[in-house]
Amino acid sequence: MSNETFHLGGDLPVRRLGFGSGQLAGPGYWRARLDTARSTTILRRAVERGVMLVDTADNYGPDVVEELIADALHPYPTGLVIATKCGVVRTGPDVWHHAGRPEQLRAQCEASLRRLRLDTIDLYQLHRIDPDVPLTEQLGALAELQQAGKIRHIGVDTVTAEELGRCLAEAEIASVQNRYNLIDRDSERVLAMCEARNIAFLPWFPLGKGLLATGGEGGVLRAIVEVAHRHGATASQIALAWLLHRASVILPTPGTASLAHLDENLDAAGIVLDADDLRQLDELTMPASS
């Protein structure tokens, strides 16, 4: 029940558990992490397992991951949604800069269309709001691209509730991508706004940068391990299952560069948490040492 279909933007049906491609880039999102053959195997396995939403960004590599996706999956299967991002320029490992001027966004869109071999990008997300460019100009540029048929739906990434309100006043927003997971819930207000408007909420770091995959450092998050044992599952599977149960608008897109971990993540869709599980997990918060 937890991986039912969600209609992204109201018209793009996707299974809720997708695939995030950031881990196919190397450390700091720089260059490629794996050889092309291994990346291709992971991407094709994700689609074979029923993934309908692949999330990427032009600055993963940069450019590299979009090209890997096209090489592995084009021509794309019917119903596969490719989401990518704009508004950030990466100049080195973990080094990036805002790039939200309209001419930059238009150029980034055209480049992503070429690399992904698409006529229209299904979901185009503003990776970060550029503080030096009026928001109306940034979203206005995306709206123009939408009207021109270059993109289908607009999303935003890493926004406060107040910023999301401003975005909604400027354009129709189909998705929000914020940091959110079992022990990091700073975006609850944003999630509530998405629920009220049926806006897709794509949590990044759904496994807390790996912390939730082990149940927490030193067993701090014993509740996750306890629930996992009851279900014969891993801690990471429980963390993903919790997201799928938390709200029907949540579309987790966990990333991995491991075929085994990919299968493990996708198997989380079959885990049904009961009221006792959810009560135990809902009480968790970020460890004080983090």
Residue 122 token pair: 């299904």
List of long-range contacts for 128-132, beta carbons under 8 Å, 24+ apart: 128/87, 128/88, 128/98, 128/100, 128/157, 128/158, 129/87, 129/100, 129/156, 129/158, 129/159, 129/163, 130/87, 130/98, 130/99, 130/100, 130/101, 131/98, 132/98, 132/100
Rounded-to-integer distance, Cα 210 and Cα 218, Å:
14
Rounded-to-integer distance, Cα 40 and Cα 129, Å:
32
Q: How many residues does the chain have?
A: 290
Mean pLDDT over 112-135 rounds to 98
pTM score: 0.95
> What pLDDT digit, counting tens, does each position of 15-67 carry?
999 999 999 999 999 999 999 999 999 999 999 999 999 999 999 999 999 99
pLDDT score of 1 = 42
Rounded-to-integer distance, Cα 210 and Cα 105, Å:
32
User: Has residue 2 got a pLDDT over 90?
Assistant: no
> What pLDDT digit, counting tens, does each position of 162-215 carry?
999 999 999 999 999 999 999 999 999 999 999 999 999 999 999 988 888 776
pLDDT score of 210 = 80
pLDDT greater at residue 109 or residue 221:
109
Residue 230 token pair: 């009851």
- From the candidates 29, 60, 124, 180, which is the catalytic residue? 60
> What pLDDT digit, counting tens, does each position of 241-266 carry?
999 999 999 999 999 999 999 999 99
Q: Across-strand partners of 202?
A: 177
pLDDT score of 221 = 77
CATH number at 5-282: 3.20.20.100
Give the type of residue at 282. Answer: D
Residue-range domain boundaries for the chain: 5-282
Residue 111 token pair: 């480049």
Residue 200 token pair: 């897709």
What's the mean pLDDT when you consider all of the chain?
Answer: 95
Q: Which residues contact 72 (CB under 8 A, 6 or more apart)?
A: 39, 40, 43, 44
> What pLDDT digit, counting tens, does each position of 62-80 carry?
999 999 999 999 999 999 9
Catalytic residue flag (residue 60): yes
pLDDT level of residue 289 (50, 70, 90 thresholds): very low
